[in-house]
Amino acid sequence: EYTVPIEIAVDEADQWTNDAANGKIVGVPTGFVDLDKTLGSMINGNVYIVAARPKKGKTSLLLSIARNAAKRYKKRVGIFSLEMSRMQVAQRLISQTAEIDLQKIIQGRLKADEWGKFNRGRDEVKALPIVINDLSAINIAQIRQTARRIKASGGLDLLIIDYIQLASGADKKFERRDLEVSAVSRGLKYLARELNVPILAAAQLSRAVEQRASQRPILSDLRESGSLEQDAYAVMFLFEQNDNKNKNVIGLEVAAHRNGPT
DSSP state of 139: B
Is 244 exposed, middle or buried (CB count within 10 Å of its CB: 0-12, 13-18, 19+)? exposed
Active site residue 83: yes
Cβ burial, residue 134 (10 Å; 0-12/13-18/19+): middle
Count CB atoms within 10 A of the CB of residue 80: 24
How wide is the angle at C-alpha 88 spanned by C-alphas 59 and 250, nearest 5°?
25
Is residue 163 reached through a cis peptide bond, with omega within 30 degrees of 0 on the bond before it?
yes
- The DSSP 8-state label assigned to residue 43 in this structure reads P
Q: Which of 1, 7, 12, 83 is catalytic?
A: 83
Q: Which residues are catalytic?
A: 83
